Amino acid sequence: MFFVSLLIEGSLAGLLYALVATAFVVVYKASRVINFALGEWVMVAAILVAMGNNVLGLGLAGALAFGCIGMAVLAWVFNTIALNRLVGQPLIAVLMVTLGLGVLLRGLGQLLFSDVPRDIPLPLPTEPFVLAGLYVPGDKLAAAALAAVATALMAWFMQRSRSGVALRAIADDQKVAMALGIDVNRYVTLAWCLSGALCVMAGSLWTFIIGSGFGMGLVGLKIFPIVIIGGLDSIGGAIIAAVMIGLIESLATGYLEPILGSGCGLLAAYIALIVMLTVRPYGLFGERRVDRV
């Protein structure tokens, strides 16, 4: 029963990881930018929702809308001021900019929003459910269900909507997409805004389950193994890898931490990452790109 309970906990955590990983993949598919500030984006999104609900008194719906608008503004400013000026520059320059953005957001968050109450009350059940004799936390189950729905909707949007088709065309070849009349800058900005909206959902659910805090920025450390194992440009791969990492972390925490100490869950995830990079560097469902010269 202990093993089954660990599997359930890992699966529920994996669905939440999948939501954040999808935010990463959406940006990478459109702009080929690896957002190392993803954890800080989730942190800022949660702070904005908490401020809208607890300080501005907008109510839950208004607070979520306020968070989405704030993240859209952040995405537009970052894309306009930073990324557009780095077109054609070495990849390391873009990576360093996202790292710098993460440090900046963490510092500004502590400086400007340290007094903002962090709780986000969501109308979700908190009573545990009894499943095959096991008690499953109601809040985690409801949050995982919402995360799964949001992830599925984003996957549908990328596959079926007109904007999703344009984003996938940009991901395949930006020059050809521009030749076909697609406004690359507008759609790349849209991808960053969608990523921000997903961070709002993820930050709100994360806060509801485990509480908020500036340490939420560390969630990005859990996401990078997921997106690399699943494939940097595959939403389906990110979902499968997120559940896998959730299970690995849960089992390592349950069985190894009592023996080896804390941190085994995160360590096990990075061991899985190293194995994947050795066996299949482009991930489970990532595209193997061949450059012809």
pLDDT at 19 over 60: yes
User: Picking from 80-84, 198-202, 267-271, which range would have the lowest pLDDT averaged per residue?
Assistant: 80-84
Judge contact between 218 and 20, C-beta under 8 A.
no
Distance CA 239, CA 218 (A): 20
Question: How large is the average pLDDT for residues 172-197?
Answer: 86
- Summarize pLDDT for 196-236 with one digit per residue, the tens: 999 999 989 988 887 665 456 677 778 888 999 998 888 88
Q: If you average pLDDT over residues 181-209, what whole number do you get?
A: 89
Q: Say which amino acid occupies 61.
A: A
Q: What are phi and psi of 131, to 5 degrees?
A: -125, 110
Mean pLDDT of the chain: 85
DSSP H stretches of helix in 82-137:
91-112
Residue with tokens 């389950």: 209
Q: In sequence order, which residues have a C-beta less than 8 Å from that of residue 237 and are 6 or more positions away?
A: 229, 230, 231, 283, 284, 285, 286
Return the minimum-mean-pLDDT range out of 55-69, 186-200, 202-216, 233-247. Answer: 202-216
Torsion of Cα atoms, 149 then 38 then 7 then 238, to 10°: 60
Indicate the SS3 state at residue 130.
strand
Q: Which residue is associated with the tokens 């900046």? A: 104
- The predicted model scores a pTM of 0.90
Q: Are 188 and 23 in contact (CB under 8 A)?
A: no
278 vs 83, residue with greater confidence: 278
Strand partners of residue 130:
135
- Sheet strands (E) in the chain: 129-131, 134-136
The three-state secondary structure class of 136 is strand
